[in-house]
Structure 1
Amino acid sequence: MPPSPRGDEGTSRPPLLEIVIPAYNEEGRLPGGLLQLCAKLARMPFPTAVIVVDNASTDHTAEIVTNWPRGPVPVRLIQCAIPGKGAAVRAGLLGTSAPFVGFCDADMATDLDAIDHALGLLLSGERVVIGSRAHQGSLVENRHSRIRELGAFGFRALAGALVQGVSDTQCGFKFFEGVLARETAARLRTSGFAFDVEFLARCVERGSPVREIPVRWHDMPGSRFSPARHTFGIVLELGRIWVRLRARPRTAPQPAWEPPLDPVGYP
């Protein structure tokens, strides 16, 4: 673990920032991702922490976290048996307590220097700050196929109808005021790929506009998304979100989840 100018004192104070990493069978990418993230957070002038959510992995993802060396940035494990990235992010956010929280992907495709920008905006009063690959200031390395690009264009068009004014709902780099994130996570019902759309729409619904920031983003190998296998389920998921957001409140309690249409939902 890289040394920190804070030494180990950050572990004895409550964190100002907690970052959630949803992980499903990430034994290959998680160690490198954790090293990068912890090295970045160790240079922050305040306490931080990392939560890895093991989403019912069948590899050694959980063991990597439980055996992670103790250092200036605490890393802890949360288990989530419900399949889907949305379920994992929800579990992780509900396990936080910090004033500011966020989540990012295990592959760290987004350059972590953007954390400084995001946190600065949160400290200045913004409540939702997300990375956007569509921002004119972003630098994006993209090796996706033409078919996947076409699918992404169609998804953005549908998502834009649900979260107006947001150009990229799916970049795996999002930060929030902590109370808002936990209250929104408690209401989240989408467990698969499109969970970001519902999450951001509910933030806007609560009067918290989304601030997009430029990022440096590198396409990383290991994506599990397949246009042939997942497109139909994603369209249905977006339809469910559309109905859910426009439904009138009911007096009877609603179930926390619906049957997942995209059982994994990881990039």
Structure 2
Amino acid sequence: MEVPPPDVSSDLVVLDVVVPAYNEALRLPDTLVLLRAALAELDVPCRVTVVDNASDDGTSAVVVNAPPGPVPVRLLWCGEPGKGFAVRRGVLASDARYVGFCDADLATAPAALAQVLQLLYDGADAVVGSRAHPESVVEERHSVLRRWGAVAFRGAVRQVVRGVSETQCGFKFFRNDVARRVFAPLRCGGFAFDVEVLGRAERAGARLVEIPVSWVDVPGSRFSPVRHGWQSFVDVAKINWRLRSADVTPVMPLVTLPVTPDVTGGTAAVGMRP
């Protein structure tokens, strides 16, 4: 599906990176510095969209007070708990040519964004970071329980997603129209939401490209094998059942997307809370 690169001389946002954030006031400042620096090196108009997922700390204030720079930062609010719903909020609010998400802890090195953008330029409908890729560099300190749980989870996921070897790395990017198509009907807001997104993308005939990542197990993960593990398996079963009868339209090549120029001038733009 050939999609020529956008006119980078314009003010249109080429890449929008959504960062779901729940009580991330402590590490979000460093994340924004590193992420904006990586995006600035791409030399195309980019933006960071932080979605505050009903935090009760100073997460929103961090975004509001972000210093001006070549990569603007905006804040959106999502009152519906769940990482998947927060990502969905940011994706559906994006007017960029390409949109995706990464985790607030930057466990996946943002240096991979250059490869992501090139693959999207070359016609990929979605680029999926994978820790299971043979070329990935992974530093993890997970317990034996969590490692075996991950193996079992991947086995269950194969019933839904067959085109990628790992679904749970928080580093995925899409052509805007493809992103809207797979996120708009999203019903799973928990940790298994990636499975539903990729499952819908596959069933729509999207071209998924899996890439290696440099990934570090950052302390402070909100995923608990005991509290969330069983629910993730239940969610995958529900997703599998749901997608069996999903009405999807095949993805078609698209050259031009309706977009609105970003006029924030590099400052933080604040989304209104309901």
Give the TM bin, normalised by the shorter chain. 0.7 to 0.9
Size of the alignment, in residue pairs? 239
2:23 alignment partner AA: N
What is the match of residue 220 of structure 1?
A: 218
Shift of 1:248: 6.0
Counterpart CA distance in 2 for 1:38 and 1:59 is: 23
TM-score (norm 1): 0.87
2:120 alignment partner AA: L
1:44 aligns with 2:42: yes
2:136 alignment partner AA: S
What is the match of residue 7 of structure 1?
A: none
Counterpart CA distance in 2 for 1:234 and 1:219 is: 20
38-47 or 85-94, larger mean C-alpha shift: 38-47
5 Å-filtered alignment, 1:54-65, equals: 54-65=52-63
Counterpart CA distance in 1 for 2:135 and 2:230 is: 32
Give the 3 Å change call, closer, same or farther, for CA 186–248 of structure 1 in structure 2: closer
1:14 alignment partner AA: L
What is the match of residue 163 of structure 1?
A: 161
User: Structure 2: 5+ residue runs without aligned partners?
Assistant: 1-7, 248-274
Counterpart CA distance in 1 for 2:82 and 2:34 is: 24
5 Å-filtered alignment, 1:245-264, equals: 245-247=243-245
2:146 alignment partner AA: R
Runs of 4+ in structure 1 deviating by more than 4 angstroms, as ranges, are: none
1:42 alignment partner AA: A
User: Structure 1: 5+ residue runs without aligned partners?
Assistant: 1-9, 250-267
What is the match of residue 183 of structure 2?
A: 185
1:123 aligns with 2:121: yes
1:240 aligns with 2:238: yes
Counterpart CA distance in 2 for 1:18 and 1:224 is: 24
1:175 alignment partner AA: F
Q: Secondary structure at the match of 2:184?
A: helix
What is the match of residue 257 of structure 1?
A: none
Identical-pair percentage = 52
Q: Secondary structure at the match of 1:162?
A: coil
What is the match of residue 73 of structure 2?
A: 75
* Equivalent of residue 101 in structure 1, options 96, 99, 102: 99
Superposed CA RMSD in Å reads 1.3
1:185 alignment partner AA: F
Counterpart CA distance in 1 for 2:124 and 2:163 is: 16
